[in-house]
Structure 1
């Protein structure tokens, strides 16, 4: 008995010492990371690097710190990102860093128990990058052929139809090329890892599914598995197989050298939970083709998201079909929010078993069509309030973040503007909202607009306007990314004067009339989306009304709205309303009407409209104001026939 007790005590001491050693190593690693991040901060100015070669040395050491945290999968991916960040900065010891990157990739293949342990992931990335460059070259060639909008409105309709056709064809081509590249990578990863344990499908989400993707976009994805494997004794082994496939896939993408450090959620560089540790701005690494980031509000890739303080549950997007569908309805996973749930209803097949994907696609469509019925069928509950998304709340947030009335003025000022937030999302988000509201199954945004017309929800005229606005949003984003050679959304707006009219950078990019039509359409589609989906109240009209007035005046000049109706509305406005209208029209929308800074008679404007024109008399700051009568708004909408 004494001997047994002695062995037990000795064993306990050994285990305790092992835990203590592990904790010490963990603390040493954390302290090393903190020290290196502080050193990086010391050589940065305004959170940006001034000495890239010095930064490269720090990133190299940080990469080794994360490599030491093996076999943690996320740590290994972060290590690869840091090695690539160091290489991008062209340090003196490129050979040493590249050798360490090769060692890391070989180490991952050993951990994954890969069939092809000698596979060269860095070399494979090079072959993939050649395909990416070919895709980008084609896009650049097509963009150069796009014409600016004509100066006469008579020729605009033909230009509009041609632009929609070219942009839709281009977006379809990019989506197909992007999908093919991802399929090649996935099949390569399966080949490297070894024999498949079950059927699977790699599924694309987001802009790829909507066919709005660019050659510099993130790849948002999930992996679905065949139903029934969760009942097998080796289910965890199957999941582990695909986790390592996802890691290998990410390493191949990371080794393209286009994953910025900031999206990897490093705790002492870009920690979104602690402001003092969220300071670093990666302005050197090209932001191109990559995976969705590891920051808590992203993580839309197979490995998902680790638990956080605000979301203390793990989200893994590798699941059997039926389990993945439960993400749309389960009480726990609803906490992941609107974006994940919405994206799971608009997906596309990339690689693997197409029939299995079709089953998933049909299931997600049924959830969108009747979430209450599907939740009862699959989860054995009946709660009509437990829908896959709270449309009202999300639209309110989208309006606050991307509403045209907040953004339109800013696109007419000099300085940096974010084209994703000010041009792209203000149109695409609300097309998607209408698609969800009317239970439209088709994935492409262009096809969704046509389906809205087919269902009688928008007129043929507005359908054409909406298709053109989508084309403009995609064109601007592609052109900015192409010019900047990466996913950089900030565009420097320079106002220049051409023929006496102030013109912005965006107008020079797409043409003056195109920008006018785009801005008008964005506001109109947001009004329709809010009214139809949110049962919009008069409070929302208070926000939108002053921004609509200048456009309505433009419609007067275009013979789309009678001047008598406009004068009737204008005469009912308070003095504050009129100041708001004058300010908005002259301040940043006056260029839509081809007006000079000083009102003057125009011989081509009929006398009845000349009376409206004289309203432009003075400017003032935009005040807080009351909304007009709902009847007045309806009169205008009835004449314009937007619906």
Structure 2
């Protein structure tokens, strides 16, 4: 390959050249896939962009368009990383000019870069207005009175609706502007058409940093004309030019154009290149096989899905997708995507024809349609289960707010709309229709609208603060599991009150959908009970808040109430005391609960588990062991799922083993740790602490073996523990402890070389995650340094 100025000579091995460049890029990446040297990576992107441009001349019609889109993304990536590089800027300018010639555009002197700058100004204004509007949305105080709370919730709903409507209008205006420019560039369209928006734009939940997901509808009968292929080519090039203008905003991350070379040179288990430099904003939906919600559709085949899908079609041909099972990705079908649409640009009559066709399908009683809706709902209830998503954060230092907060509500409101043949796409409008049709009452409509308002506010606030479509809140990796700040970070976005109520509402909604057999005739209502609030306070780890809530709640309730909801509340409070290390208070409440008539076998099991833990933490080891022995036989008669039985037995065995340690019954402890590990292996995979608990068993078995003087066996268990932590992203502090223990084992064997290696690894990890200002006073770091010095002296 030879580079001269902004031109590039291509030989027949262009794919090998791309792979070689991708291999070079790997040298300039950190372990997490981020770039070390922007100047060097910019040069590689520039060369790859030129290569794709030149190769496009040899490609067939579809591949040519793909190559040009990838070239646009790569050349823009080079320019953003080195904005002062005149060669890079000239290459991008030349590319835009050559693209118009390749597309046989009518206006060859159009300036695609200038058009992009105009769009960027419009986007900047929209973002500024959104920021100002968001500042006016009040945070609802936690201790507000009920009447005032309802007023503040209604005010939040109104404000968020208004903000979303403003963003939607501004976003559509930008896309209309680009569409109009593309039409001028390509010349008079060969037929009437409609650019139709999908996804969050159609739902009026778009953000100032969202992708533009859309299709192009053609007037019916176009497919019967002799020039149909030319018509398609006009709109395909229209779409390529449109996408190039959007890419020129320089908010499109490179992975979204799915460059095969980056995957080709990545071995299994390696981190792929991730464009962390580009602030992800307004772009097209990605070209990855799991995306492709854009007019050109899915252009590349894979082994699992060996078909292509184009989304430039006459109305009736597009409507046929509503009865097809072809997937755009695992988790949703084309039919689901096309159910929620809006008119953006073009002929409104064509859009109306399509919208009427969708309405007819929604209102039909076709079993196949209803079956697909129910299948999709079942999948969503599994993948976006609010309880499981929230529970997973116990061991996750980063939180995906789109998955956790946005989709856990909007997906299910949308499902209710389809199940009730409501053709409006907006979540707020669907809720209003459900209320008008007497499917839900006024209170339920208010709660669901409030949940949608909170979910939209959370997503908007996170994106606006980051100035990017970045869904993650939190840190890269946990250092110490008890220092997990992800819940606190979540609370900071919209306040404790809104987060607690959001999850309480969503939890109830999902339970309704999960437990009803006949959803076609569903009528339901939701009310938030005290138990809902306490459950969410526990899950969000708001222990102090729960104790203060309990103090006011217990004054309002009769002291000897035995309602099952009340028993659950008392358990949540006991759990809060335990998490706050107030074990005496926790044990007192748990023992009182034991005296009550608890109907739920699961609640009984939890009370027993936590009582055993409190006895251990209070140093009452023999009493704890006797209690565990009695409880194990009782559990045999409990009506529980296998996973829940295994979970309880694993915890009890683990607590029993820990009680044996201070009693120096190391072999008994080993036996019980092995039992705990075996039971834990059978627990539901969705349990967040499952694998960490197994790793702890290996570690503690190793410590028992160390006490018994079997250092080789101890090393083997420690290595198993470390391997488990690596596989399941265990907390860094626990990994460090594992390396420290390995070092101590090797010291006992007088193998100073291996000991030194493990102590040094421990120190390097601790220095990486402990802030520099705290390193000199950190006892673990001091100990690691002392151990290293000891090894070096020997």
Fold shared by both chains (TM-score > 0.5): yes
Contact 1:268 1:278 in 2 (8 A): no
Pair 1:153-2:154 in alignment: no
Considering fraction of residues, name the structure with more helix.
2
Contact 1:119 1:192 in 2 (8 A): yes
Pair 1:183-2:144 in alignment: no
Contact 1:189 1:249 in 2 (8 A): yes
Q: Distance in 2 between matches of 1:627 and 1:564?
A: 30
C-alpha deviation, 1:535, in angstroms: 6.8
Pair 1:108-2:99 in alignment: yes
Q: Relative contact order (C-alpha < 8 Å, sep 6+): which is higher?
A: 1
Pair 1:125-2:109 in alignment: no
Pair 1:364-2:364 in alignment: no
Within a 5 Å distance, the mapping from 1:560-599 to structure 2 comes to 567-569=562-564
Contact 1:296 1:305 in 2 (8 A): yes
Aligned pair partner of 1:246 in 234, 239, 243: 239
Q: Distance in 2 between matches of 1:98 and 1:586?
A: 64
Pair 1:302-2:288 in alignment: no
Q: Distance in 2 between matches of 1:234 and 1:535?
A: 47
C-alpha deviation, 1:278, in angstroms: 7.0
Pair 1:290-2:283 in alignment: yes
Q: Distance in 1 between matches of 2:251 and 2:105?
A: 26
Which residue is equivalent to 1:526?
A: 510
Within a 5 Å distance, the mapping from 1:308-457 to structure 2 comes to 308-330=302-324, 338-370=332-364, 372=366, 384-385=367-368, 387=369, 390-410=372-392, 415-457=397-439
Q: TM-score scaled to structure 2, two decimals? A: 0.64
Contact 1:567 1:612 in 2 (8 A): yes
Pair 1:506-2:490 in alignment: yes
Pair 1:30-2:23 in alignment: no
C-alpha deviation, 1:409, in angstroms: 3.0
Which residue is equivalent to 2:164?
A: 171
C-alpha deviation, 1:91, in angstroms: 5.9
C-alpha deviation, 1:458, in angstroms: 2.1
Summarize the Cα distance change of 1:339–1:274 in structure 2 as closer, same or farther, 3 Å threshold: farther
Q: Distance in 1 between matches of 2:486 and 2:213?
A: 40
Summarize the Cα distance change of 1:96–1:308 in structure 2 as closer, same or farther, 3 Å threshold: same
Alpha-carbon RMSD across the aligned residues, in angstroms, is 4.0
Aligned pair partner of 2:24 in 15, 18, 39: 39
SS at match of 2:345: strand
SS at match of 1:292: coil
Pair 1:196-2:186 in alignment: no
Which residue is equivalent to 2:76?
A: 84
Contact 2:474 2:486 in 1 (8 A): no
Aligned pair partner of 2:442 in 460, 472, 493: 460
Q: Distance in 2 between matches of 1:589 and 1:127?
A: 58
Q: Distance in 1 between matches of 2:298 and 2:394?
A: 39
Q: Distance in 1 between matches of 2:577 and 2:457?
A: 22
Q: Distance in 1 between matches of 2:180 and 2:50?
A: 29
Q: Distance in 1 between matches of 2:170 and 2:83?
A: 33
Summarize the Cα distance change of 1:389–1:271 in structure 2 as closer, same or farther, 3 Å threshold: farther
Q: Distance in 2 between matches of 1:272 and 1:39?
A: 10
Contact 2:292 2:328 in 1 (8 A): no
Contact 2:325 2:333 in 1 (8 A): no
Deviations 1:496-534 (A, max 9, x none): xxxxx9971222221221111111011011112223478
Q: How many residues were matched structurally?
A: 560
SS at match of 2:398: strand
Structure 1 unpaired stretches of 5+ = 1-23, 373-383, 495-500, 537-546, 602-607, 629-643
Q: Distance in 2 between matches of 1:589 and 1:390?
A: 46
Q: TM-score scaled to structure 1, two decimals? A: 0.78
Pair 1:53-2:39 in alignment: yes
Q: Distance in 1 between matches of 2:215 and 2:639?
A: 47
Which residue is equivalent to 2:452?
A: 470
C-alpha deviation, 1:597, in angstroms: 5.9
Q: Distance in 1 between matches of 2:329 and 2:76?
A: 34
Q: Distance in 2 between matches of 1:205 and 1:508?
A: 31
Deviates more, 1:102-111 or 1:338-347: 338-347
C-alpha deviation, 1:85, in angstroms: 1.1
